[in-house]
């Protein structure tokens, strides 16, 4: 499977009946503070509350009937878990979801609401992978990896396809990076539609494997991470890192204080709920990690699934 603009367009045609074409919001106060024109693609308003609905739905509806009948499986602590459970329910097939015991309660409830069959494991990468492998051996379900899956990557790229159809004259596009599926899909679509578009990945300083790897030219996975942005704690995948080297211009990192400040400002100014991972691109603007003055800047707000009992500004000061 070749990952290119045609693949992303085909993915969009496949998933269009099952997703929302999310709106693009603007805010004059945020523009004035940054000295730029900011455009926010609101994937926090997507089905299942995050862009992950795009990739998971494309992966599920790309299965042939025999594969689909055996169901799907994955390991995920959050948005991909819910997105895959939802997509499987839409197709009428089982979804086996491995979740670590420390997953956020709202995300567990979301998987349950979509009918996903949850198996809990210890909160380590090895436990997630071992548990998922056992379930696949028992059920013969198809693994749908959260980001190391070309159908998933193509699906994530559909957000930028829509974004540039709605706001064509962007100079710069910022998105968060964890496993890198969104960044890879964004970069492929963005560069194909607008070759001069600058693509920048944004990452917490406490989980900066992608930035380190990008500078070094080789993957440098981290064994420990420390960030409130739980959706970005994963090391960038091999496929996505290779695509980032080809299509991405830069990856920058931001502090925890800036993430919290950005999250709160977006709630107050745009009047929408965004999770910490979604706030990372705007945090890069707050910390002046990216030159935006006088430019038209696109920002992908990746998700809005938040535990309201643990809002960061209730427990810490930015």
- Of all residues in the chain, the percent with pLDDT exceeding 70 is 99
pLDDT score at 119: 97
Last residue of a domain, one of 115, 143, 171: 143
Judge whether residue 47 has pLDDT over 60.
yes
Q: Quick one: pLDDT band at residue 309, thresholds 50, 70, 90? A: confident
Judge whether residue 250 has pLDDT over 70.
yes
Mean pLDDT along residues 114-130: 93
Residues 295 and 240 in one domain: yes
Residues 210 and 191 in one domain: yes
Mean pLDDT along residues 266-270: 97
**Does some domain include residue 274?**
yes
Mean pLDDT along residues 51-70: 98
Buried b vs exposed e over 80-96: b needs ≥16 C-beta within 10 Å? bbbbbbbbbbbeebbbb
Q: Quick one: pLDDT band at residue 314, thresholds 50, 70, 90? A: confident
With beta carbons less than 8 A apart as the criterion, state whether 148 and 127 touch: no
Residues 23 and 124 in one domain: no
pLDDT score at 105: 85
**Does some domain include residue 164?**
yes
Residues 78 and 225 in one domain: no
Provide the angle, in degrees to the nearest 10, between the axes of the packed helices 5-15 and 150-166: 90
Tell me the residue range of the domain where 119 lies: 53-143
Q: Which carries the bigger pLDDT value, residue 314 or residue 100?
A: 100
* Alpha carbon separation from 148 to 30, 110, 183, 253, 261 (Å, rounded): 35, 23, 12, 22, 31
Among all chains, which residue has been given the structure tokens 């030219």? 217
Residues 297 and 309 in one domain: yes
* Alpha carbon separation from 273 to 21, 289, 299, 300 (Å, rounded): 17, 24, 15, 14
What's the structural domain count of the chain? 2
pLDDT score at 208: 98
Domain with residue 252: its CATH number is: 3.40.50.1100
Last residue of a domain, one of 85, 115, 143: 143
**What does the pLDDT look like over 75-120, one tens digit per residue?**
998 899 999 999 999 999 999 999 999 888 888 999 999 999 999 9
Residues 200 and 294 in one domain: yes
How many other CB atoms are there within 10 angstroms of residue 68's CB atom?
18
3-state SS track over the chain: CCCCHHHHHHHHHHHHHHCCCCCEECCHHHHHHHCCEEEEEEHHHCHHHECHHHHHHHHHHCCCHHHHHCCEEEECCCHHHHHHHHHHHHHCCCEEEEEECCCCHHHHHHHHHCCCEEEEECCCHHHHHHHHHHHHHHHCCEECCCCCCHHHHHHHHHHHHHHHHHCCCCCEEEEECCCCHHHHHHHHHHHHHCCCCEEEEEEEHHHCHHHHHHHHCCCCCCCCCCCCCHHHCCCCCHHHHHHHHHHCCEEEEECHHHHHHHHHHHHHHHCCCCCHHHHHHHHHHHCCCCCCCCCEEEEEECECCCCHHHCHHHCCCC
Residues 35 and 58 in one domain: no
pLDDT score at 316: 53
The residues near 124 (Cβ < 8 Å, ≥ 6 apart) are 100
Residues 186 and 221 in one domain: yes
Taking alpha carbons only, the member of 166, 173, 181, 216 closest to residue 197 is: 173
pLDDT score at 313: 85
**What does the pLDDT look like over 7-46, one tens digit per residue?**
999 999 999 999 999 999 999 999 999 999 999 999 999 9
Mean pLDDT along residues 144-168: 97
Q: Quick one: pLDDT band at residue 318, thresholds 50, 70, 90? A: very low
User: Mean pLDDT score of the chain, rounded to an integer?
Assistant: 96
With beta carbons less than 8 A apart as the criterion, state whether 159 and 153 touch: no
pLDDT score at 222: 94
What does the block give as tokens for 130? 């071992």
Residues 41 and 87 in one domain: no
**Does some domain include residue 35?**
yes
Last residue of a domain, one of 122, 143, 164: 143
**Does some domain include residue 136?**
yes
Mean pLDDT along residues 125-145: 95
Residues 72 and 186 in one domain: no
- Of all residues in the chain, the percent with pLDDT exceeding 90 is 89
What does the block give as tokens for 272? 């929408």
With beta carbons less than 8 A apart as the criterion, state whether 175 and 230 touch: no
**Does some domain include residue 148?**
no
Residues 9 and 157 in one domain: yes
**What does the pLDDT look like over 181-235, one tens digit per residue?**
999 999 999 999 999 999 999 999 999 999 999 999 999 999 899 999 989 999 9
Residues 91 and 168 in one domain: no
What is the distance between the alpha carbons of residues 119 and 128, in angstroms, rounded to a whole number? 10
């Amino acid at each position: 499977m070749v990952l290119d603009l045609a693949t992303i367009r085909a993915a969009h045609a496949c998933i269009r009946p099952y997703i929302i074409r999310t709106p693009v919001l603007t805010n004059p106060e945020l523009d004035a503070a940054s000295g730029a024109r900011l455009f926010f693609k609101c994937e926090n308003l997507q089905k299942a509350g995050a862009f992950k609905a795009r990739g998971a739905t494309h992966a599920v509806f790309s299965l042939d009937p025999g594969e689909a009948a055996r169901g799907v499986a994955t390991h995920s602590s959050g948005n991909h878990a819910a997105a895959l459970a939802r997509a499987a329910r839409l197709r009428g097939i089982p979804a086996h979801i491995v979740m670590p015991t420390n997953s956020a309660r709202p995300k567990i409830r979301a998987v349950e609401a979509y009918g996903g069959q949850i198996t809990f494991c210890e909160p380590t990468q090895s436990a997630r992978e071992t548990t998922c492998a056992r379930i696949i051996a028992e059920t013969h379900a198809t693994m749908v990896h959260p980001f190391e899956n070309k159908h998933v990557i193509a699906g994530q790229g559909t957000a930028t396809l829509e974004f540039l159809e709605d706001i064509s004259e962007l100079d710069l596009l910022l998105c968060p990076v964890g496993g890198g599926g969104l960044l890879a899909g964004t970069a492929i679509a963005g560069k194909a539609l607008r070759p001069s578009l600058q693509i920048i990945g944004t990452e917490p300083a406490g989980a900066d494997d992608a930035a380190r790897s990008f500078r070094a030219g080789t993957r440098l996975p981290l064994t420990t991470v420390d960030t409130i942005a739980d959706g970005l704690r994963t090391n960038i995948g091999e496929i996505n890192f290779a695509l980032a080297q080809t299509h991405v211009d830069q990856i920058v990192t931001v502090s925890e204080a800036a993430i919290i400040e950005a999250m709160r400002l977006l709630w107050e100014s745009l009047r929408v709920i965004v999770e910490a991972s979604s706030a990372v691109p705007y945090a890069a603007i707050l910390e002046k990690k990216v030159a935006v003055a006088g430019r038209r800047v696109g920002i992908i707000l990746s998700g809005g699934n938040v535990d309201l009992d643990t809002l960061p500004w209730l427990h810490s000061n930015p």
